[in-house]
Amino acid sequence: MNQALSDPNFFVKQENWQRWKKNHGHDDIIIENVEFRDFDFTEIDFSSVKLLGCYFDCCSFKNANLISTNFSHSSFHACDFLGAKMIASNLSHAEFKRCNFEKVNLLTAILNDTSIINSDLTHLDLQSFNLIGITLDLCDLRKQNLAGKNLTNASLKRVDLRGANLDKTIFNGANLAECLLTDANIHLTQFKSANMTGVDFVGSNLSRVNFEGASLRGCDFRDADLSGACLAHADITNTSLFNAETIGWDIREIRCDYAYWDRDSTIKTEYKPHEFERIYAESLIIELKYDFRLTANEIATLPILIDHLQACHWGVALRLKSVKDIAGGALVQLVVDEAGNYSLNDLEISLKEEASRIQNAQLALRADRQMQQQFKESLAEIKEKFWPRLLELAAEHELDQIRNFCVLFIDLKGFTQWNEGIVSEKLSLFRGLLKPILERWKASYPNMEGDSLRATFRSARSAVECACMIRDVLMSAQFELRIGIDLGQVSIVHNEVTDQSDLEGNAVSMAARLEAMAEAGEIIVSEKVKHYAEQETSEFVFYPRKSQLTKAIGNKKAGDWINIYHLQRKLSQ
């Protein structure tokens, strides 16, 4: 480098530079490690010059000719590039802070590992640039068209992307902590392993967005649509999930130490490892493929297979979903109702491995004619011995059987304060209003005692819909009431006093406790009811809160805090 070019004062008068450049026009001009502060380079011709590792502070490059200029490893602070021609300029490893790029022409510029920080880029068209690994922290990218762009490993901390088009944009491994995404088009966008800490997604359409392995700690998903979104291996600790749509989301191996489900994000719900996944994941389907079509005998062995798989996996509950013929064989589908302490991913692998062994046993049964004949004879004996008795039990209303039911408890408030003259009349009205509602929702085992009602339902949806109608009808008739609903195993027993079928079990006791926790006009449900109701319908809102048990139930002690939910039907739009 010429000695004169190493002195910033040489550039005080542009004619010095212009004269020198003209005389050395055919030379490779290199200026290295020079500091320029408050220099006016307006309309200067730096085309094809190499300004390597230089520092520019508060300099003006307005309308400058920077075509093919090499600014590698240089730094710019508060510089003005208004109208500059930076076509084919090399900005690799360069850093720009608080610079003005209005009306700049950056066509085919090289941006490898470039850092542009706290600058307004709303006027730039970034579609033609390679943005992999770029740093754009604190930049204004409002309404930018980044559709389909690859910003893998880019840094966009606290970037303003409001209204931006991010359709199919790739942000894998990028840092988007605290960025603004309001009204952005986030359609099929990929955020795999990205840092999205503290991002506000309120009301956003995130359907089918890929957040696999992303850090989403502290994000606000209230009223967001997460249906079909992939959050496998993501961390959603400290997120707000009020009214979020979660149908079909993928939360395999998700991490969530705690989250907020209430509107104001004030009630913390804590989760043990894998607990969030077990409660809120879609039911896991295990598919077992056979290279042969199943005979009646082999189908009869499926309950044995299920019992064996459950015995090998403590706390896991399975049920048969379907058996159907497929090309070249058969397909058996099992539903995982309870995952025990397993993560769903580990459980699926383990179940399939163990099931393959049992499939071999079924195949061995097919090959052994003697065993096959013995099996068929044993089935005939079972049918002859038990089938008549099973028919008798069915006629006895399934007494002494255990079933999964939603149990609903209703209690009228102020019953003891009614005058004797109106008690009979009001109870008659109470029961008359309830009967058609219970029949509509196919309630089973209804039991009315005084001013209370207990009934069971086959599904969570039926229970909550029936409860809402009961509340609306009875409150319109000037009754004050409280309702509690729980879901679980219920024993159907014979009541020696009433000579009718009766119910026993923890779900019955818990429904009564939940009813007692309700205020007048409230429907309070357990976490299980909330979970299954959300799988079946999106018509209800569940407001979380914590309450303390006054009596022990199952493995819960008196004084334990439990998560309960106040149920409301969504207002029609």
Please, what is the angle between helix 460-476 and helix 420-440, to 10°? 140
| Residue 241 confidence (pLDDT) above 60 | yes
- Which of 111-120, 138-147, 160-169, 484-493 is least confident? 484-493
- Give the mean model confidence (pLDDT) for residues 280-300: 79
Give φ, ψ of 437 to 5 degrees.
-70, -45
Asked if 400 and 492 count as a contact pair (C-beta separation under 8 A), the reply is yes
CA distances from 413 to 32, 268, 323, 452 (A): 85, 31, 50, 10
| Residue 276 confidence (pLDDT) above 70 | yes
Q: Please tell me the predicted confidence (pLDDT) of residue 318.
A: 86
CA distances from 454 to 462, 466, 568 (A): 14, 12, 20
Q: Please tell me the predicted confidence (pLDDT) of residue 3.
A: 56
Predicted structure pTM score:
0.54
Asked if 355 and 286 count as a contact pair (C-beta separation under 8 A), the reply is yes
Residues contacting 295, CB < 8 A, separation 6+: 366
User: Could you tell me the pLDDT band of residue 400, with boundaries at 50, 70 and 90?
Assistant: very low
Q: How far apart are CA 43 and CA 54, in angstroms?
A: 19
Between 256 and 490, the more confident residue is 256
Q: How far apart are CA 86 and CA 105, in angstroms?
A: 6
Polymer length in residues for the chain: 573
Fold of 284-395: GMP Synthetase; Chain A, domain 3 (3.30.300)
User: Could you tell me the pLDDT band of residue 148, with boundaries at 50, 70 and 90?
Assistant: very high
Quickly list H helices, 314-368.
344-367
| Residue 94 confidence (pLDDT) above 80 | yes
| Residue 170 confidence (pLDDT) above 90 | yes
User: Could you tell me the pLDDT band of residue 435, with boundaries at 50, 70 and 90?
Assistant: confident
What value does the mean pLDDT of the chain take? 84
Between 165 and 312, the more confident residue is 165
Q: How far apart are CA 383 and CA 148, in angstroms?
A: 63
- Which of 123-137, 316-330, 365-379 is least confident? 365-379
Summarised one tens digit per residue, pLDDT across range 153-162 is 999 999 999 9
| Residue 397 confidence (pLDDT) above 70 | no
* Residue 220 burial (C-beta neighbours within 10 Å; 0-12, 13-18, 19+): buried
Q: How far apart are CA 17 and CA 86, in angstroms?
A: 19
One-letter amino acid of 567: L
- How many percent of the chain have pLDDT more than 90? 37
Show the 3-state SS of 297-328: HHHHCHHHHHHHHHHHCCCEEEEEEEEEEECC
- Give the mean model confidence (pLDDT) for residues 40-55: 91
* Residue 555 burial (C-beta neighbours within 10 Å; 0-12, 13-18, 19+): exposed
- Give the mean model confidence (pLDDT) for residues 350-371: 77
Q: Please tell me the predicted confidence (pLDDT) of residue 5.
A: 67
| Residue 147 confidence (pLDDT) above 60 | yes
Q: How far apart are CA 561 and CA 74, in angstroms?
A: 60
User: Could you tell me the pLDDT band of residue 255, with boundaries at 50, 70 and 90?
Assistant: very high
User: Could you tell me the pLDDT band of residue 396, with boundaries at 50, 70 and 90?
Assistant: very low
- Which of 140-149, 152-161, 223-232, 275-284 is least confident? 275-284
CATH 3.30.70.1230, domain 402-569, yes or no: yes
Q: Please tell me the predicted confidence (pLDDT) of residue 463.
A: 92
Widest pairwise Cα distance in the chain: 116
* Residue 160 burial (C-beta neighbours within 10 Å; 0-12, 13-18, 19+): buried
- Give the mean model confidence (pLDDT) for residues 241-268: 89
3-state SS assignment for residue 17: helix
- Give the mean model confidence (pLDDT) for residues 415-440: 77
Q: How far apart are CA 54 and CA 34, in angstroms?
A: 5
Q: Please tell me the predicted confidence (pLDDT) of residue 387.
A: 58
| Residue 402 confidence (pLDDT) above 60 | no
Q: Please tell me the predicted confidence (pLDDT) of residue 385.
A: 65
Domain boundaries, the chain: 284-395, 402-569
Highest mean pLDDT among 189-193, 295-299, 367-371, 376-380: 189-193
One-letter amino acid of 490: V
Domains 284-395 and 402-569 share a fold: no
CA triplet 487, 490, 495: central angle to 5 degrees? 135
| Residue 525 confidence (pLDDT) above 70 | yes
- Give the mean model confidence (pLDDT) for residues 475-503: 78
One-letter amino acid of 54: C
Q: In what order do the strands lie in the sheet with 268-270?
A: 239-240, 258-260, 268-270
- Give the mean model confidence (pLDDT) for residues 515-521: 89
* Residue 151 burial (C-beta neighbours within 10 Å; 0-12, 13-18, 19+): buried
Q: Please tell me the predicted confidence (pLDDT) of residue 312.
A: 83
Tokens of 523: 């429907």
Q: How far apart are CA 20 and CA 402, in angstroms?
A: 97
Tokens of 469: 């109608």
